[in-house]
Chain A
Amino acid sequence: MRNKSRIRIVWGLAPALGALLAGAALAAPDAAMQERLAPCTACHGDGTSQTEGVPSLGGQQADYVVTQLFQFREKQRTAPPMNDVAAGFSDDDLRVYADAVATLPAPAWSGPAADPALVARAQALVAKHQCNSCHGADLTGRDAIPRIRAQREEYLAQALAAYKSNARPGYDPAMNEVAQDLSDADIKDLAAYVSRL
C-alpha cells in the first residue's frame, strides 16, 4: 500500500511548490503562518484542491482538522502521505496547523451548475439522511463536524464509501452509523451535488 520512497520525494518537493503557490495566496495568513502552511498547500491548494483524491481544506473547521491530524498521527485513519506527515507532530502542532488551515479561503464550485434531476435526487437524499442536522444548513460544518460544501467530488464519494465499509472509522462513529443506509447510487449523487454547491 504505502510507497515510502515516493512519499519522500513528494515531501521533498512540497516546500518548494508551496513557496510558489503561497506567493499567490490571499492576504489572510501572516508570513509565519504561510510558511507553516506551505507544505499543506503544495498538495491541497490554497483552500481549493486541484489534485484528484486530495481534499480542499479552505474554511475547514479547525476542531475537525485537529481530529483528522490526530487520527493520521495515531494511524487511526490511513491516508498516505498524511500518516507520515503527521507522525512527528506534537499536540501543539495539531492545533497550530488546524488553525492555519481554517484561515484559507473556502472552496466554491466554479463549473457548470448541477443537472436539475441530480439536484432533485440529491436534495431528497440530504433531507432523508439529515445531513444538515450536523453539517449545518449550508453544509459548512461546526466544531468537529467538517465543512463538506464544495468539497472535491471524488473525495466525498471515497469518504462516504469508506465510512460505509468502516474502512475509515470516524473519530466519532456518527458517519459510520448513518452511511450504512447509503447505496452506491446515493453516494454518487450526494458527492456530485455537494461538490457543486
Chain B
Amino acid sequence: MTPISKPILTRGLAAALACLGFGTVAPDAVHAQETPASAAPPASVQIDRGSALYGRPEGGNAAKLAPVAGPPLATAAAKLPLDKLKVPDGFKVEVYASGLANARSMTQAPDGTLFVGTRTVGKVYAVLPQAGPDGKREVKTIASGLHRPNGVAFHDGALYVAELSKIWRYDDIAKHLDGSEKPSLVYDDLPKDEAHGWKFIAIGPDNKLYVPVGSPGNILLPPDTHAQIRRIDLDGKNAEVIARGVRNTVGFDWNPKTKQLWFTDNGRDWVSEDIPNDELNVLTDPGKQHFGYPFCHQGTFTDPEYGWGHSCAEFTAPAGLLGPHTASLGMRFYTGAQFPDSYKDAVFIARHGSWNRTAKLGGDVVVARPGPDGKVAAVEPFLTGFLQDNKYAGRPVDVMVAKDGSLLVSDDYNGAIYRVSYGQ
C-alpha cells in the first residue's frame, strides 16, 4: 500500500489516490477530475468539534449532497428494475420476493424461511420458502412498530431482532409467523443515538451474539461506549468489546477457513469526493485491535483534524478497500456449492451506493477474493445496474448465501429481494 507522507488534502492528492487504485472498483476518474472546486465559502461559521456538522465544507457543490432515504412503500413487482440488472455470464438474476418495504438485513432458517429487517418502517418480515402457483412467495409481517429493527439473526429456532437500542428474541419463530409471539428482551445496555444507531447483528461460530455500536456522528472522538463491536452471550450477559475504532459496520461474517470475523466499515464523509475508502476489515485478535476511527481512515490516511499526533501504523489496516462513500454494508463469504469454484470462500459485498459524492459510486454487489496473505487486492463487479445516469434504480443492502447456494440480495429502495443463481 502506498504510504502517504502528509495528511494534506488537495484535489491533486485525491486524484492521485484514485489513480493509484484506492478506489478498488475504479471511481469514474473523469468525473472525479471534472469535479469543480467549491465556490468560495461564505463568511466562516464556527462548528464545534463533536457536532454532527463538524468537518462539512460550506456552500458550493457540497451543499447539493444530502442523504436520501428510500420510500416507505415497496415498488410493485412489475416495476422492479430487473431488466437493468446485470450479472456475469452463466449467472441469472430474478426477483425472489417483493412487497417488503425497506428490506434490509437478512437471515435464513434451516427450512428456508427468510427473515428480513428494516430501518425506516419499523417492520420485520418473513418470506415463506415455497412460491405459490403465481410464482410469488408469501411475505408475512411478523413484527411492526419497532424502532429501526435493522438486524436479524436466526439461531436454534429463535429469531433475534436488533432495534436501535434493544435486542429481542422471538422463540420458536416458525410457529409464530403471524406475529403472535411476544419477544423476550436479550440486551439493552446500548446507547440511543439515532446517528448510526441501527444495527446489523449476527451469531458467530462461537454461539455468541455480535453487536456493533456505531459512532454517533460523522467524525468525532467517540465515547468509550461507541465505535466498536461487542460480543455477548446469547442470554445477554458477559458483553465485551472485541473491536474498537469501527465507525459504522452494517455487515459482517466469519471466514469459513479461519473462523475470524470479517466486517465492512463505512468511512467518514465530507473530507473529499475520493477518500477515504470504505473498509473490509479482519478481526484477528479480539479485544486488542483498534481499526483507526477517528484517527486514521483506510489504513493510510490520517484524519485532517483527529489524525494529528497519530500514525496509521498504530492501527489495524483494512484487508481491502471498497471505494469512497460507497456505503459498503452487508457481506458474506460464499459457502455454497452452486457457484463455480472460483467463488469458493470469496466475499460478496453489498454496496448501498454513495450520497456524499457528486458522481455516485456503488449501488452494486461486488466480490472480493482474499489472497493467501489475507489481503484483498481488488474487488470485481458482480451484480450491477442499480445505478443509472447517476440515479438509483435500487440500492443493495445485504447479501446472503441461501440454502441452495444461490445468492439473495436485499434492496431497501424497492423493498425487494433478488436471487442470483448459476447454471440452472
List residues of A whose CB falls within 8 A of some B CB.
63, 66-67, 70-71, 74-76, 91, 94-95, 124, 127-130, 132-134, 143-145, 166, 169-174, 176-178, 180-181
Contacts and interface: CB of A to CB of B under 8 A. Distances in A.
B48 A176 contact: no
A177 B122 contact: no
A53 B145 CA distance: 25
Given A76-B122, A127-B58, A172 B69 contact: yes
30 contacts: A66-B71, A67-B71, A67-B72, A74-B122, A74-B145, A76-B121, A127-B42, A127-B45, A128-B53, A130-B58, A133-B63, A133-B65, A144-B68, A144-B69, A169-B147, A169-B148, A169-B194, A170-B194, A171-B72, A172-B67, A172-B69, A174-B66, A174-B69, A176-B194, A177-B52, A177-B195, A180-B52, A181-B51, A181-B52, A181-B53
A84 to B, nearest CB: 16
- Interface of A, secondary structure class, is helix
Top 6 A-B residue pairs of the complex, sorted by shortest distance between their CB atoms = A173-B194, A172-B69, A176-B194, A70-B72, A134-B66, A177-B195
Interface in B97-156: 120-122, 144-145, 147-148
Nearest to A73: B72
A19 to B, nearest CB: 30
A129 B56 CA distance: 10
Contacts of A124: 45
Given A173-B195, A176-B194, 15 more contacts: A67-B120, A74-B122, A94-B72, A130-B56, A130-B63, A133-B63, A144-B69, A166-B192, A174-B66, A174-B69, A176-B195, A177-B52, A177-B194, A181-B48, A181-B52
Q: Taking each of B45, B48, B194, which has the highest tally of chain A beta carbons within 10 Å of its own beta carbon?
A: B194
Contacts of B42: 127
Contacts of A174: 66-67, 69
Contacts of B63: 130, 132-133
A185 to B, nearest CB: 16
A132 B64 CA distance: 9
Contacts of A71: 72
A74 B121 contact: yes
Contacts of A171: 69, 72, 120
